A and B are shown apart, each in its own frame.
Chain A
Amino acid sequence: MEQFLSYLMPGLLRGCVYTIIALGFIIIYRTTSVLNFAQGEIFLLGAYSVYFAVAQIGFPVYVGIPIAFIILGLIGLVIERTTLRPLVGQPILAIILMTLGISVFFRGVVVLIWSDVIMPVPTIFGSGGASFFGATLPIQYIWFAGISICISIILYLFFTRLSMGLQMTAVADNTKLAQSCGVSVNRTTAASWVIACIVTGAGGYMLCTITGVYPLMGELGLRSLAVVLAGGMESIVGAMVMGPVVGAIEFVLSGYLDDYVGGGLRDVVAFAVLIIFLFFRPQGLFGWKIIERV
């Protein structure tokens, strides 16, 4: 039991970071029905831009982090304006390929500027451990959980209470109708990209304070696709619930089975969850069930 908890707890808490990254996917998908495969690289840029602002330029940490997130927001704006707006009305295939192209491009940028060695990211979360039901956890994980819950609640309120969030939902539901009711589609789309990039970048920054940042971390961003899908592509609540669940599944399974399969199971469990959900419940647990004949 103790062993089980020692696998479960870090998984649950680390899963909170998956929630944040998944929220980035969801914000963009809700508004523009684009699933952004470049999310992994935006996740990376989050960590790298903090590293850039704090360790390379030399801002104090608490100034550097907001600056880094402003940079990220601008990147989101540029991506939307230059690459995805020309593709409005194109088939879904073109849009998927475009986000894949963006992801590869940004991986190139990251490798070019920061090379591919592991870099430590300046942290604000302190270190040390906290005892929790008999399992010792790094103090950062507790921070992650707290921040992730805060961000989720703020976004939930944003999408259900604020005018801008409601406009985004309207655009997602029926673009033409929203436009004829006076919602500026361009503005909501741009806003959703900016918010998504900042949220994802925050997730990237948090996780990379533990592991350090290197280009292959980007694949971790893709892992939270499982969270997006299991929770439902449009559902913030779904991401809140499924993030920790997927994290826990990863840690528990890899904790028990790694010895038998030769390690590294943690890297693929999320994808297995993804495929299982696609086989049996494509709309996820909390998603909007849209009936579409295939």
Chain B
Amino acid sequence: MSLQPCGIFNSNYSQSTAVIRTKPQWVTLIAFFIFLAIYPIISSSYTLSVVNRVAIYIIVIHGLNILTGYTGQISVAQSAFMAIGAFTTGILSTKLGMNLWLCLPFAGLVAGLVGIIFGIPSFRVKGLYLALISIGAQFIIMYALLHWKSLTEGVHGISIETLKIGHIDFVTDKAFYYVAVGMAVLITYFVKNIVRTRVGRAFIAVRDNDIVAEFMGVNLYYYKMLSFFIGCFLAGIGGWLWACYIGVASVDHYNLTESIWFLAMIVIGGMGSVLGAILGVFFVEILREFTNILGPVMGSAIPFLGMTISTALPLLSLGLVLIVFLVFEPRGLAHSWEIVKNLYRLWPYSR
């Protein structure tokens, strides 16, 4: 709970539950939305492609954050559920000829239902064992997608036509930006509100102490399944976006390392915080982009390292960042931001 700005007092209930409380906050928010709306006009296409990826990942990470950060059910299979979303889109749109927009809910639903299947063991086991199940799920799902050739085309993947409404084509980065960022904003709104309500409080209770939670009247099974469903549903939505963005649903993007990147995002951002998820995605994506650029440069500048540095550098930096954050700032960037915010709100009495 962060402090209110100086001189602001809540005098009724709706004020105290408001996310956006003061006029300057409203102004900042509206200015931010205006900035988002005009951003594609002022930015280069390269940064736009990075932002599109960030927006897609934000959706996926919100899902993982609900599942792992809020409910405490560890999942190392988020990228596999993303793949399910992508392949559902591919199969429905090519085999059944469905409109891509119509595939969107199905991508989420199928991923969510598969998520529930792999979530069933959470009735009996927790913590470590659940992480094992999700590792198994990651490998089994990817195996099925790779080898069920009649349905998924195996290694070639399913190519997906471009996303369009009427005659408007969402094929360029600039056009796709509005789809991706629009959905990211909507889903952030949805997630921010879900974790503030009864459902979110139940999730947190399950995470913090499941026995007490059950004693207090939280239906453990229902909320665990709900959390698996929402987490994987959002992964499926992310998969839909990703498949539409790159125009193909193929297996090579969704491996175990990608799932570990996703976990790194919520750790770095701060688990159990909506803002943290967003910060984490930004931090990690920028880091990844940076290492992708730096790798070849280092490889050619320092011949001793050789060109393998360009594959090794992202892995090294991911491992190091994860280790450093877990040792020194386990509560993530969101916590650091909270400290900074309290500092300037109390200024000049803070130090």
Q: Is the CB of A115 within 8 A of B143?
A: no
Q: Is the CB of A282 within 8 A of B137?
A: no
Q: At the interface with chain B, which of A86-94, A127-135, A158-166?
A: A86-94
Task: Tell yes or no: A262 within 8 A of B by CB.
Answer: yes
Partner of A275, one of B128, B136, B257, B322: B136
From A35, A225, A275, residue with most partner B Cβ within 10 Å:
A275
Task: Tell yes or no: A14 within 8 A of B by CB.
Answer: no
Task: Tell yes or no: A106 within 8 A of B by CB.
Answer: yes
Bound Cα distance from A225 to B309, whole angstroms: 30
Contacting residues of chain B (254-298) with chain A, CB-CB under 8 angstroms: 256-257, 260, 263-264, 267, 271
Bound Cα distance from A79 to B137, whole angstroms: 28
Task: Tell yes or no: A264 within 8 A of B by CB.
Answer: yes
Task: Tell yes or no: A83 within 8 A of B by CB.
Answer: yes
Q: Is the CB of B257 within 8 A of A104?
A: yes
Partner of B312, one of A37, A97, A111: A111
Q: At the interface with chain A, which of B47-55, B68-76, B177-185, B228-236?
A: B68-76
Q: Could you say which residues of chain B place their CB within 8 Å of the CB of A92?
A: 127-128
Task: Tell yes or no: B346 within 8 A of A by CB.
Answer: no
Contacting residues of chain A (149-168) with chain B, CB-CB under 8 angstroms: none
Task: Tell yes or no: A1 within 8 A of B by CB.
Answer: no
Instruction: Classify the interface of chain B: helix, strand, loop or mixed.
Output: helix
Bound Cα distance from A100 to B127, whole angstroms: 15
Q: At the interface with chain A, which of B26-34, B115-123, B163-171?
A: B115-123
Instruction: Classify the interface of chain A: helix, strand, loop or mixed.
Output: helix
Bound Cα distance from A103 to B122, whole angstroms: 25
Task: Tell yes or no: A289 within 8 A of B by CB.
Answer: no
Q: Is the CB of A108 within 8 A of B313?
A: yes
Task: Tell yes or no: A107 within 8 A of B by CB.
Answer: yes
Contacting residues of chain A (270-284) with chain B, CB-CB under 8 angstroms: 271-272, 274-275, 278-279, 282
What's the minimum C-beta distance from A129 to chain B, rounded to whole angstroms? 31
Q: Is the CB of B319 within 8 A of A106?
A: yes
Q: Could you say which residues of chain A place their CB within 8 Å of the CB of B311?
A: 111, 116
Return the chain A residue nearest B256 by Cβ: A219
Bound Cα distance from A252 to B312, whole angstroms: 36
Task: Tell yes or no: B196 within 8 A of A by CB.
Answer: no
Partner of B132, one of A263, A264, A274: A274
Return the chain B residue nearest A218 by Cβ: B256
Q: Could you say which residues of chain B place their CB within 8 Å of the CB of A293?
A: 210-211
Task: Tell yes or no: B129 within 8 A of A by CB.
Answer: yes
Q: Is the CB of B139 within 8 A of A94?
A: no
Bound Cα distance from A54 to B74, whole angstroms: 41
What's the minimum C-beta distance from A146 to chain B, rounded to whole angstroms? 30
Q: Is the CB of A105 within 8 A of B323?
A: yes
Contacting residues of chain A (190-232) with chain B, CB-CB under 8 angstroms: 219, 222, 225, 229
Interface digits, A254-294 against B, CB 8 Å rule (1 contact, 0 not)?
00000001111001100110110011001000000000111
Q: Could you say which residues of chain B place their CB within 8 Å of the CB of A275?
A: 118, 121, 133, 136-137, 140
What's the minimum C-beta distance from A50 to chain B, rounded to whole angstroms? 20
* CB within 8 Å for A105 and B330 given contacts A92-B127, A282-B129: no
Contacting residues of chain B (316-351) with chain A, CB-CB under 8 angstroms: 316-320, 322-323, 326-327, 330
Q: Is the CB of B315 within 8 A of A97?
A: no
Q: Could you say which residues of chain A place their CB within 8 Å of the CB of B131?
A: 35, 37, 96
6 shortest interchain CB distances as A-B pairs: A105-B319, A108-B315, A101-B322, A108-B316, A112-B312, A271-B136
5 new A-B contacts, CB < 8 A, other than A100-B76, A278-B125, are A101-B323, A108-B314, A225-B132, A271-B140, A294-B124
